[in-house]
Structure 1
Amino acid sequence: MLMNVTQLFDSVAIEAMVSSDEPAADFADALLDAEVDDNHIRLAVQVKSRAPYPGEISRLEPLRNRLATVGVPLLVAPLISESTGRALTEAQWSWADTQGNADVRTRGIRISRRVPSRPVRKPRRSFPSGSGSWSIIRSLISDGDVGGETELAERAGVSQPRVSQVLSALSAAGLVERHGRSTWTVDRPALLDSLWNNYADTRRFTSWFYSLDPPQQTCERIVATGESLHSDTVISGDVAADRLVPWRVPTHTTVYTGDHRLSAHLDLTPAQGPDDANVELIVPADASVLRVRHEGDPTLAHPTQVFLDLQRLGGTDRPEAAEKIREWLLTR
């Protein structure tokens, strides 16, 4: 990660290098020396395997104070979302991540940069599509490296030949890399971005309703009704995001079902369309939505679907909520 940080300084014509001195005490992972206008600036680096959650930042103050005794406190992590970056800056941290995002503030230096987390790309012709392929891709994003094609086929609920075809296509697209006979490493961030850029809206049928009840309560009622009718259901959108990474208050209910007749059994007020509704009941054309779910709670959609639905629903703060889900998923 330190290599990414030195490259960040190089990109703005600041010479920086890891100090040959031993890190002060045991609380600095490294010391980084920078030269700006003949002034020597030392940064005390703390490397994290993941970005801190908002509730954790205040607990980092003692560490920041200790680092400040030897240099400018600089927190480095694989991915720091926009909201987490703002919170770190407010807590007087300088920070940088391996994606090229940074906010470094000290004497003679002011670097503030936010690069697009998902650059718009033209769809890859080689990117696999279809329910079977998406089942495999969802499993790859959440589970990471592949220890065997048969094991992946079992997790995704598809055939082993289909796994081989998808892995070959993803390898050609540079999203997975083969090591040995049956071991693959996965570029999880790039694969999630590619899924988002290539995933089609596969809603086969949607029923819209309006409810005065809280979305969480509405979801529970729909799921309970589905269970009583032996109808497959799974929660996505706002409510699923709130259960996975509580950040924004849910305002919308999104539930997928395998049976369109479920809507007739719900005590909900029908709406004319999405503009008048806060509840959507969707029969998906993509079977992977119901097949591949969140491992810890089978009533929730797979996190990749929650991410996709937040992007689809849009609004003022859902894209940032989607970034929270993305960060949570990729740092697990």
Structure 2
Amino acid sequence: MLISMSQLGSDFTLGEGIDMLRGQGVIIEALGADRLLIGGRLAKIYLRHTVPSPAQIASLKTAVSLYVIPKITPGLRVLASRDSRLGLIALRTGEIWLHGACLTTGTQSANTDLKRPAIKFPWVRFGLLRSLALRSTPRSQAQLAQELGVSQPAVSAALSSLREIVHKTKGGWVANSFRSVTDEFLLNYPGPGGIRRHWFSLDPIMTQGARIAQNRPRALISGDLAADQLAPWKTPRTGVVYSPSELGLGELGFAESDPVAGTLIEVIPGDPTVWTLSKALGHTRLADALLIAYDLDNSKGADSREAVSTLLAELEKRRDSNGS
């Protein structure tokens, strides 16, 4: 089965494939979680754990269809050499084909134990966990569906999978407790998927965040930067920004970096509830608070866990005091 990048539960394979392309000097602009602009041509990226068939390749409509796969077969290699619309990135061998040409020698990659990707990721389930954690007001399935921008049957199926920690009241669905849903989310959410880039700046991290907020109004701030506004505890070291497409951070004085040295992570998420839930909560600058807690929990620093506990305590207090 074919899956787009926006359905992935992990961004490791995705990031590695894009890094391999950039390592060959290919100029890439991300237009979304599964769409790129490569040399002025629109490309849609697909991740597969098996080789795509000729029929599947022939049915693709975009100017460039880029497959991220474990390895390239001789048959695929011939197709890629004849059809400039077909792009291939082999994670296990390092071989890359783009615009009808091989960009590499196909040397062995360090990633020799590539795991099979998930076919479908339950974004609705994790969106519900965040929504029910942040609002104690009972809501119907229709209201929850509208809030997350999904169908009511999708909400119904997700609620069924959460029946041990949520229940239905006369007024609608609620969490059994704040901690039951926050624990479930923080323990099992594998991240928003999509495209991730690391950036570096010598400026203080709060200055970096303010610069982005001032110049990139479509960005949602998360991680250390956002947590410091909700429940200050740790000294912010890194920030996370979500955007529907690339923000052009190089124009704001940032330099692209590796994950170790980076001070800012730019994410074009595959999880659509990043946007729908933030909008439903009335947020224009910050991600929803439980996503902030997730990013804070995965940030640098030994005091991150204590900061998460402080943030959760503040969120629970607000939830209990105003019912939303």
TM-score in terms of structure 1 length: 0.54
Q: Which residue of structure 2 aligns with residue 289 of structure 1? A: 274
| Separation in structure 2 between the aligned mates of residue 187 and residue 266 of structure 1, nearest angstrom | 43
Read off the aligned partner of 1:251 and give its amino acid letter: R
Matched, 1:249 2:239: no
| Separation in structure 1 between the aligned mates of residue 139 and residue 191 of structure 2, nearest angstrom | 31
How far apart are 1:322 and its partner, in Å?
0.7
How far apart are 1:280 and its partner, in Å?
1.5
Superposition RMSD on alpha carbons, in Å? 2.4
1:223-272 C-alpha deviation (Å, 9 max, x unpaired): 33333xxxx3100011100000122221212111110353453321222x
Read off the aligned partner of 2:253 and give its amino acid letter: D
Q: Which residue of structure 1 aligns with residue 222 of structure 2? A: 236
Read off the aligned partner of 2:202 and give its amino acid letter: L
Match of 1:163 among 151, 155, 159: 155
| Separation in structure 2 between the aligned mates of residue 296 and residue 244 of structure 1, nearest angstrom | 15
Q: Decide whether the 8 Å contact of 2:221 with 2:241 is kept in 1.
A: yes
Match of 1:149 among 141, 150, 157: 141
| Separation in structure 2 between the aligned mates of residue 165 and residue 215 of structure 1, nearest angstrom | 41
Q: Which residue of structure 2 aligns with residue 221 of structure 1? A: 211
Query: Which structure 2 segments of 5+ residues have no match?
Result: 1-119, 319-324
Secondary structure at the residue paired with 2:297? helix
Higher relative contact order (CA 8 A, sep 6+): 2
Q: Which residue of structure 2 aligns with residue 101 of structure 1? A: none
Secondary structure at the residue paired with 1:276? coil
Matched, 1:186 2:194: no
Q: Percent identity?
A: 27
Secondary structure at the residue paired with 2:278? coil
Match of 1:278 among 243, 255, 263: 263
Q: Decide whether the 8 Å contact of 1:140 with 1:186 is kept in 2.
A: no
| Separation in structure 2 between the aligned mates of residue 262 and residue 217 of structure 1, nearest angstrom | 17
| Separation in structure 1 between the aligned mates of residue 198 and residue 141 of structure 2, nearest angstrom | 40
Matched, 1:202 2:192: yes
Q: Decide whether the 8 Å contact of 1:257 with 1:282 is kept in 2.
A: yes
Secondary structure at the residue paired with 1:289? helix
| Separation in structure 1 between the aligned mates of residue 179 and residue 312 of structure 2, nearest angstrom | 8
| Separation in structure 1 between the aligned mates of residue 283 and residue 224 of structure 2, nearest angstrom | 16
TM-score in terms of structure 2 length: 0.56
